Amino acid sequence: MDRNGDTLPPYYVSGLPDSYYVRLFPRQSVHLFHSSYCLHWRSQVPEGLEGKREVYLNGENMYIAKNTPPSVVKLFQEQFRKDFSLFLRLRHEELAFDGQMVLTFLGRKDEDVYSGDLNHLFGLLSQSLQSLVVEGLVEEEKVSSFNLPAYGPSVGEVTALVKESGAFEIAHIKLFEQNWDP
Ligand X SMILES: C[S@@+](CC[C@H](N)C(=O)[O-])C[C@H]1O[C@@H](n2cnc3c(N)ncnc32)[C@H](O)[C@@H]1O
As measured in angstroms, the least distance from the Cβ of 45 to ligand X is 13
Measured from the CB atom, the residue of 4 and 19 that comes closer to ligand X is: 19
Measured from the CB atom, the residue of 41 and 114 that comes closer to ligand X is: 41
As measured in angstroms, the least distance from the Cβ of 116 to ligand X is 17
Among positions 1-60, residues that touch ligand X (CB under 6 A) are 19-21, 36-38, 41, 43
| Rounded Cα–Cα distance for residues 121 and 119 (Å) | 6
Nearest Cα residue to 153 out of 61, 91, 88, 95 = 88
Residue 178 touching ligand X (CB under 6 A): no
As measured in angstroms, the least distance from the Cβ of 43 to ligand X is 6
Q: How far is CA 176 from CA 11, 63, 66, 79, 173, in A?
A: 29, 22, 24, 24, 10
Residues that bind ligand X (CB under 6 A): 19-21, 36-38, 41, 43
